[in-house]
Structure 1
Amino acid sequence: MDGKNRKDIKPGLRVNIVLKKDQRTGTLTEGIVARLLTKSPTHPHGIKVRLEDGQVGRVKEILPE
């Protein structure tokens, strides 16, 4: 599942995000969502989240549990 819909993402989910510094390369960073930062219900590049380790990026995929 991609991370473009806010309703699909909740704190505690394991996701792959793209950090700001990795946007050119598309390198994914795996982590657990601590907080949703995007307020709108959808975003074409992915919902912005903060991971539990403090990193911020846009969700590219939601990983299965």
Structure 2
Amino acid sequence: MGIEDKAENKAQDASGTAKEKVGQAVGNDDLKNEGKADQVSAAFKDGAEKVKDAARNIGDKFTK
């Protein structure tokens, strides 16, 4: 996983957490749900990057 991707995913997760908490504090369900969606999206991207890294590592073992 590239450093940029990792940082982008962390930023999206943090932003989602903030949106969720603000939405909850002000009673805005749309903002709260948008924050949750951002967090899920960041987690999905992070998982996909980890799968790509694992596949790359397996490929490297076969080529060496």
**Structure index of larger Rg:** 2
Asked if TM exceeds 0.5, the reply is no
TM-score range, shorter chain: under 0.3
Relative to the length of structure 1, the TM-score reads: 0.22
Higher-helix-fraction structure: 2
Which structure would you say has the larger RCO, counting Cα contacts within 8 Å and 6 or more residues apart?
A: 1
Relative to the length of structure 2, the TM-score reads: 0.22
Higher-strand-fraction structure: 1
